[in-house]
Homo-oligomer: A and B are copies of this chain.
Amino acid sequence: MKQSMMFIPTLREVPADAEVKSHQLMLRAGYIRQNTSGVYSYLPLAHKVLKKIEAIVREEMHNAGASELLMPALQQAELWQESGRWYSYGPELMRLKDRHNRDFALGATHEEMITSLVRDEVKSYKRLPLALYQIQTKFRDEKRPRFGILRGREFIMKDAYSFHSSQESLDEGYDKMFAAYQNVFARCGLNFRAVIADSGAMGGTDTHEFMVLSEIGEDTIAYSDTSQYAANIEMAPVIETYEASTEVKQELVKVETPNQRTIDEVVNFLHVSKEQAIKSILFKVDEQFVLVLVRGDHEINDIKVKNLYGASVVELATPEETKNILNCVPGYVGPIGVNEGVEVIADHAVKAVVNGVCGANEENYHYNNVNVDRDYSVAKYADLRFIQEGDLSPDGEGRIQFAKGIEVGHVFKLGTRYSEAMDATYLDENGRSQPMIMGCYGIGVSRTLAAIIEQHNDDNGIVLPEAVAPFHVHIVPVNAKNDVQRELSEKLYSQMNNAGLEVLLDDRQERVGVKFADSDLIGIPVRITVGKKAEEGIVEVKVRKSGESFEVTTEELSSKLDQLLGN
């Protein structure tokens, strides 16, 4: 492609409103432009990279046995009413009416639609398993679109769905998809981890998120420093054990702690360690009030509370509710003397606290020398806290460390959530009707593009891995008005095109400094500079990633490129 014909509006300045590197670079390199908040155009360079990512996704989906289809973005409301999500999805689901005043959703995801499609056509166990996918534009009206195309309102997604007649078949399909996802992200040159994620009420390890490691990630990953273990921090179980100290239990005392509300304030004021403090928080678990205790240096993980009760909703009690139930303002809550309507549960670590400190359920007072069983009772001990750096890895191997991640993929065992709600059944070997067992598998294609750039850049611009680069080679004549340089550039351009390389030729009438800066910015792996030595048949090869450059004769060029491009 000749650059004069391509639309690559590069910018010299860093756009003021772009916070993260990938967003800045994609604007500067003429990859994207914003149309309105969270809505972007992919300009030709970005489009070429997207097509490369999509081609990788398609190959891996094909290898995983999935076939591609394309469902509509316009989804009649009736489908979402069948699943119940018309009512529960909230404002993120964009809705509209057609000319006949019928309600539609704009596809945020396609579980309902694929379930409806497959239930109408597949009636027998003989047609299962079945795996289908699409690569499609999705719509989600994010409350706070940000970071460019990392969190947009219109984005490109690969969504796959599988249908099975047994749990074993689902497991097998899930494993194939899991492997395909690892291949996709590895081929895209990403440093990523597959992490155990929250599967809601289903629990267990039935869902994984694929996280690209990045400081700007919105999720925290807990991973082992020695094994392959990795989980979303919300999901990592704590397997630490705690031994109670043998110190003598002291007498319980009530102490005045005026305006000392937080754990930090209280332990400083009372000159005790955070490990001695007992953090007590009142939650509303569905309709029941529960007082949750963890050690002062720990944080409560409400997903664990939710899973312990198998609850639908876990929320912090409001100050009003706290006042009503415990007759106390938040900051001074504690487990001593709470009435019988409130269940007290505690993290395992609390059991080992001797002569601890806790709120007195009275404003400006705490208790000291608190000891469980003597001073208060615990209905249940469980793992209720977030894992911390330094904790034992849940698989028993190594210690936990934290990293931030950008979620680019998600594999999920849906089970019969949709097939039961929408009556998607098949006849089994015995002629009995059974709900199909489903899995779903998503990849944020446009987000993957941003994640790749977030991981692959330097001070001069984007540095794309060859597998997803928009072009393999960038030919830049130093002086566009010099006939020898221009002719040699054109000659190399057509030779390389004929050899199957993807080449961008900078045929613009620009100063060489502008051309070099643009070349570095847009991130093509190899640049060939055609300068004064063109007359001798010598050009300069520059490797974008290493910065390494050297001269070669035009005869040597082809074999040199083969080496560099690993072909």
Contact = CB atoms under 8 A, between A and B. Distances in A.
Interface stretch (A131-139, A317-325, A413-421): A131-139
Given A33-B120, A106-B96, A141-B98, A72 B5 contact: no
Nearest to A66: B5
Contacts of A116: 35
Contacts of A122: 9
Contact of A7 (B92, B121, B141, B154): B121
B137 A73 contact: yes
B74 A154 contact: yes
Copies of this chain, tallied across the complex:
2
SS class, residues of chain A in contact with chain B: mixed
A31 B11 CA distance: 46
B7 A67 contact: yes
Given A96-B106, A121-B7, A43 B72 contact: no
Nearest to A120: B33
A11 to B, nearest CB: 10
A75 interface: yes
A39 interface: yes
Interface in A68-91: 68-76, 91
Residue of A62, A70, A137 with most partner-chain B CB within 10 A: A70
B9 A121 contact: yes
A41 B72 contact: yes
A95 interface: yes
A151 to B, nearest CB: 15
A116 B36 CA distance: 12
Contact of A72 (B40, B50, B131): B40
Interface in A53-75: 62, 65, 67-75
Interface in A117-146: 117-118, 120-122, 126, 130-132, 137, 139, 141, 143
A99 interface: yes
Contacts of A139: 73-74
Contacts of A68: 44, 47-48
A564 interface: no
Contact of A154 (B9, B47, B72, B153): B72
A509 interface: yes
Contacts of A36: 74, 76
10 contacts: A9-B122, A35-B72, A36-B74, A36-B76, A42-B71, A43-B69, A48-B68, A95-B96, A98-B153, A126-B509
Interface of A: 1, 5-7, 9, 33, 35-36, 39-44, 47-48, 50, 62, 65, 67-76, 91-92, 94-96, 98-99, 106, 113, 116-118, 120-122, 126, 130-132, 137, 139, 141, 143, 153-154, 509
